[in-house]
Structures are given as C-alpha cells and as structure tokens.
Amino acid sequence: MKQGWHSILRPGVQGGSTSFIGGKPCLPPSVPLPVCKICGEPLTFFFQAAFPEGHMWAGKSLALFFCSATYQKHKDKEQLPRPVHADTKNDFDIPAGELAPDFYQTMFRAIVFDTAEGALREDYQERVAYQEIEWEPRKAKDKKTPIILGGEPIWTGIKKYGKERPASYGGKPMGLLLQVAENFNFEKMPDAPPEMEEDFMGDEAFAAREEPNYTLFYEFNRVYLWGPEDPSDPVVYINVQNDI
C-alpha cells in the first residue's frame, strides 16, 4: 500500500501554516483571484495543501477554489468535473491539452505553484472558516479523514460508476494527488453568502441552503484529484463518486 498523509484539523488563527482549510489563500502575488467562467461570480477558496517530502509533487502547493454561490443553477452539461474521455474504464489516457486550466476549469480552479512563492492574499474576502492542517504519514485507509494526500483511492459504496483511475496524461503517468472525504462540508463564515440549492417547496427555482456550510462539487460525494507524476506540467483531473 502506498504512503499517504492524513489531515489533522486544528482550529486557530491564520498564521504561517502552508496547509489549511478556509481563511485567505496564500498565492503568488502575480496570480489573479479566480472567478467562475459560467456565472462570473468570484470563486470561493476551500483549502490549500502543501505537498510534503515523499509526495510526487513535493515542494508544490495546490489551492482549490469552487463556485459555491450559484453552481447548482448551471445547466447539467456545464457542471463539473467535465468528462474528458470516451468511457469510465480504469487506466485510461487523457489526451494532452484536455486538462489545460482555461479549457477544463470553468466552475473550479486548482492553482498549483511552488510553496515558497505563496503569500497571504489580503485582497480575498474569506468565506470558509479557517482550520490549520497537520499531515500525519499513514498507510491505513480511513474514509472519514477529511483530506488525504497521495496513497490509494478509497472508493465508496459498491457501484462501479465513478471509479475512474486515469493512467496517463498525454502518455505520461498520472497518480493520485489527494482525496476529500464524502459528507465533509466546509464551515461557512457567519457573514458569507449562502450556497444555493433547488427550491422544491417554494415558488422560486432556487433558494439559500439553511446549513451553515459549503459543499464541494456535489454533496455526499468523495472527490479525487489526479495529476501527472512529473510535476513540470502540474495539471489536475477531478472525478467524484457518491455513496448513495
């Protein structure tokens, strides 16, 4: 079994940590804050992971943003992650160029950069409550761990749907960057805008969720992020799998 790093979440005040949930992202100053290419709203910053020594992307960080305000209003064909291959078999090759951020990342943005280049972005208004992440090296599989770096994918349920394990990108080997546990939602700041959901009981098409949190992609789904083993072209492929 491959080495993984399990997240331990600790509340506190944002300071010098390079791995954390919520708060303000630490990005290179030259990187613009992302917006949703479908609705034009600013994307919400969910978490940031600095990959440790031993991980295939050691020395780099990944900051994940997602459209939390209006994503459920988007048409099904525009919802992400967008399919980039003809079937859902394991060990498939993703054609070169299919994961280019400007093409693939419309309602989310995975920003990858050298960890040393990150700086606190005071121009971002935080929406998700801050928690520091401490990484603990482990090989055991624990599906309740909020975020796991590397290791093996923990597939949910017994369904085959969603068990998509890419083998390569443009012929170059890929591996699992990280996975986010199903049913793990991100605590919303009290003054942050709510996430929207379909209004089944009222007269409006959509209404604000009452829960004080944000969901990542779709609620109840486990989220997997894959990338090339060679970090010189740090593109990201995402797939999700539900347990219902």
Q: Are 111 and 31 in contact (CB under 8 A)?
A: yes
Mean per-residue pLDDT pooled into runs of 10, the chain (244 residues) = 93 95 98 91 96 97 89 57 58 90 90 98 97 95 95 79 82 96 94 80 71 86 94 92 69
DSSP state of 30: T
Q: Hey, what amino acid is at 78?
A: E
Rounded alpha-carbon distances, angstroms, from residue 56 to 13, 29, 41, 227, 232: 30, 25, 33, 9, 11
Cα–Cα–Cα angle for 68, 74, 77, rounded to 5 degrees: 125
Its pTM stands at 0.92
SS3 call for 174: strand
Q: Report the distance separating Cα 226 and Cα 93, nearest Å.
A: 12
| Burial per residue of 122-155, b for 16 or more beta-carbon CB atoms within 10 angstroms, e otherwise | eebebbbbbbbbebeeeeeeeeebbbbbbbebbb
Structure confidence at residue 88 (pLDDT): 53
Q: Residue 206 sits in which domain range?
A: 4-242
CATH code for position 93: 2.30.320
Q: Do the Cβ atoms of 3 and 54 come closer than 8 Å? A: yes
Residue 44 near residue 127 (C-beta atoms within 8 A):
yes
The per-residue pLDDT for 161 is 58
Task: Specify the number of domains making up the chain.
Answer: 1
What's the gap between Cα 95 and its chain centre?
Answer: 22
Give the per-residue pLDDT at 69.
Answer: 73
* pLDDT at residue 38, rounded to an integer: 82
Please give the pLDDT value at position 86.
46
